[in-house]
Amino acid sequence: MAIFTGSGVAIVTPFLDNGEVDYESFRKLIEFNIANGTDCIIVCGTTGESSTLTHEEHIECIRFCAEVVNKRIPVVAGTGSNCTETAIYLSQEAEKAGVDGLLIVTPYYNKATQKGLIKHYTDIANSVSLPIIMYNVPSRTGVNIAPETAVYLAKNVKNIVGIKEATGNISQAAKLMSLADGCLDLYSGNDDQVVPILSLGGLGVISVIANIAPQQTHDMVAKYLEGDVKTATAMQLKSIELCDALFCEVNPIPVKKAVEILGLCKGNLRMPLTEIEPEHAAKLEKAMKDFGLEF
């Protein structure tokens, strides 16, 4: 059984002006998403700036999210690391916190071989009982999970159940699903490719845009899965300008500005990320208005 079907928000981590986690705004963001159709919360992922959270902050954010959500929808915790032992530690702590699944990014910087990826994911999976979604984003990590590797893991490690496909390579996704033959749940990791991924048998998206347009993202996936491909496709195409604006600088710089524009939290970032350039902020605001967001 899939961890979730539909729109999972890769939720931002809000920060106070002093750099500490803003838990009051975090609660507000979680409730905003639940009230507006989001099907799953993905906490402490790339969009949540997990790479600049201390281990203590990382675990506390996961605990807080699980507590606030209180099983109303699934919570998936990002617990990946380029150190296998660290990923095991974070994964075990997330399991103690009561989350429903884990999102494990490939080791970054180390550039593991395919053999190394198999060992890495197997060791993490064997350390917990939670279902695991692999996260393939070579543009950030420098390593690609080959379709054959992903399928091997799904077939040989019982709690490796899904993959977030963020390569941008639809041909690779198609090959993956052909080899998987139903053994692996597929989620789009790119907001501009949700419908194409669904057409290959995907179950949904782990989304950045859902931070500011949760209902629309949920509805697009729901329409497709209900068989209304025409409406889902129209919604996908309508989102392209906003998708482009949300990635005009490295994620999560633009989406942090977008949630600030909507008044959901301050747009504070942690170094080395810096505030969005004024011309990009103007582009983002225009795209949000054109999409129909009110602020």
CA–CA dist 165, 10 (Å, integer): 14
Rg from Cα positions in the chain? 18
> Is 224 a catalytic site residue?
no
What are the tokens at 187?
A: 């989620």
Per-run averaged pLDDT (10 residues), the chain, 295 residues: 95 97 98 98 98 97 98 98 98 98 96 97 98 97 97 98 97 98 96 98 98 98 98 98 97 98 97 97 98 94
Q: Tell me the one-letter amino acid at 123.
A: D
The whole-number pLDDT of residue 1 equals: 74
C-alpha span between 61 and 43 (Å, rounded): 8
Q: To which H or E segment does residue 121 belong?
A: helix 114-126
pLDDT of residue 128: 98
Element (H, E) at 222: helix 214-225
Q: Is the bond preceding 252 in cis, omega lying within 30 degrees of 0? A: yes
d(CA 140, CA 167): 10
Contact 77, 138 (CB under 8 A): no
Assess whether 187 carries a catalytic annotation: no
Which residue in 135, 152, 187, 224 is the catalytic one? 135
Residues 245-292 pLDDT 10s = 999 999 999 999 999 999 999 999 999 999 999 999 999 999 999 999
Nearest to 215 by CA among 68, 73, 33, 43: 33
Fold of 6-232: TIM Barrel (3.20.20)
Question: By C-alpha distance, which of 241, 239, 163, 224 is closest to 2?
Answer: 163
What's the N-to-C CA distance of the chain in angstroms? 39
Structure tokens at 205: 């998206």
Rounded Cα distance, 229 and 12, in Å: 30
Q: Which position among 152, 164, 187, 257 bears the catalytic label? A: 164
Kindly report the pTM of this predicted structure.
Answer: 0.97
